[in-house]
Amino acid sequence: MTEAQFEAIFPIGNDDAPKAYLARRRWPDGVHCPRCGNPKVYDLRSRKWHWQCEQCAPDGYRFSVLAGTIFENTNKPLRQWFKVVHLMTTSKKGVSALQIQRQMGFGSYETAWSMCHKIRAAMIEPAKKLGGIVEVDETFIGGKDQNRHWDKQTHVRGGADKTPVIGAVQRKGNVVARVLDHVTKAAAETFVREMVSEKVSLLATDAYQIYDGLTEYPRQSVKHHLGQYVVGAVHTNTIEGFWSIFKRGVVGTFHKVSDKYLALYVAEFQFRYNNRFNHDIFGAVVSGC
């Protein structure tokens, strides 16, 4: 969706268009009670975009189109939320809360910041195991030298002030990444077993021994320390490409990301990567809100 398309679908001053869009996305088969799932709800004639469910409350439970979404109980109109979602989904490198604040004309930085984080949380995808050819790799984010050296090859792995992230990508498919407390054999094995199907045709990793216990997988590794990067189909270039998009985003756009919120940025970049061919990425985010 281009900016012009956004403006056409959601004209300024029209409160109904975003609410109708949200209702369609939330309830493609008709309005359901957000509390009990009851599909037999009644339109509240007196209040637009409100319904009543008589199944889950003796006096009837009244709810609006916003009930149970991240848009509930905020003083920002839905159209402004949508605009922020649109800005976040159309920017490849991500947009900072400061950019959002300026572009949206918000008085407070905190407002922009909190909206962005709520939208990131809505981008967290349900886990689905990867198949085919899968690459697994780990990387390190942050630390004092984050603006100088990115390539982990030039470093001792990790370092006390860096946060490890592990990821797996299916070639021509989806990526999945998680923040780890520490890079350990147990953590790496748990991640791979949870995210990667045993039936993959190839599991490509580097020669780091944390993956050695994954004997049920057809694993092959490249020996980066010997200058080996691609041996036939065995390489980790795809996941390294994802790391580089993520790192450029974190450094270039967000400057500093605290460990506490790193997982949310990982979710955002994972979502954008996995929806890179989806023309309806905006709608996909709204559906998760």
Give min distance, CB of 67 to Zn ion, in A.
10
> For Zn ion, which is the closer residue by CB, 47 or 92?
47
Which listed residue (17, 56, 124, 180) binds Zn ion by CB under 5 A? 56
CA 83 to CA 116: how far, in whole Å?
11
User: Closer CB to Zn ion, residue 55 or residue 287?
Assistant: 55
Neighbouring CB atoms inside 10 A of 266's CB total 24
* Binding test (CB under 5 A) with Zn ion, winner from 31, 53, 78, 168: 53
Nearer to Zn ion, 35 or 62 (CB): 35
Shortest approach of Zn ion to residue 44 CB, angstroms? 14
Near Zn ion by CB under 5 A, which window of 53-61, 90-98, 101-109, 144-152? 53-61
Q: Which is nearer to Zn ion, 21 or 51 (CB)?
A: 51
Stretch that binds Zn ion, among 31-39, 96-104, 256-264, 278-286 (CB under 5 A): 31-39
CB of residue 50 vs Zn ion: minimum separation in angstroms? 13
Q: Is 35 a binder of Zn ion (CB under 5 A)?
A: yes
Please identify, using beta-carbon distances, which residue of 42 and 225 lies nearer to Zn ion: 42
> How many other C-beta atoms lie within 10 A of the C-beta of residue 30?
9
Task: Please measure the distance between the N-terminal and C-terminal CA atoms of the chain and give it in whole angstroms.
Answer: 18
Q: Which residues bind Zn ion (CB under 5 A)?
A: 33, 35-36, 38, 53, 55-56
